[in-house]
Amino acid sequence: MIFEIGTVCIKLAGRDAGKRCVIVDVLDSSFVIIDGQTRRRKCNVLHLEPTSQKLEISKGAEFAAVKSAFEKIGVEVTETKSKKVTDKPTKAHKQHEKKAKK
């Protein structure tokens, strides 16, 4: 099988298209879990283009292990963190700020 744990792939579909990822886990014949430049997520193998490169990672490897493995082959990986949810400033808050400025 082409899609084994450790195979470096390029994502073809969606907002992560063109980014490099590695297969972390194989769920069944059509679905795998990927991580790397993309977000860590379940993915259909039809949306992946396998490359000849392989990484030495264990099944279900955490992001830190994936990152260090990618750095060995010279691929930069940055952690994709979700934005912190901040409360929108209320009207009263804005008025208070205006007064403070005066």
Partner 1 sequence: MPRGMFKSRTLRRVFRRLPSGKSELRYEQRNPSVAHCARCGAQLHGMPRIRATKLASVPKSQKRPERPYGGVLCSRCQRDMIKEEAREE
Residues in contact with partner 1 by the rule CB under 8 A: 10, 12-15, 17-18, 49, 51
Paired tokens of 46 = 């039809």
**Cβ nearer to partner 1, comparing 13 with 27:** 13
**Cβ nearer to partner 1, comparing 14 with 89:** 14
**Cβ nearer to partner 1, comparing 18 with 89:** 18
Distance of closest approach, residue 92 Cβ to partner 1, in angstroms: 27
User: CA 91 → CA 48, 97, 102, distances in Å?
Assistant: 48, 10, 17
The sign of the dihedral angle between the CA atoms of 72, 9, 39, 34 is negative
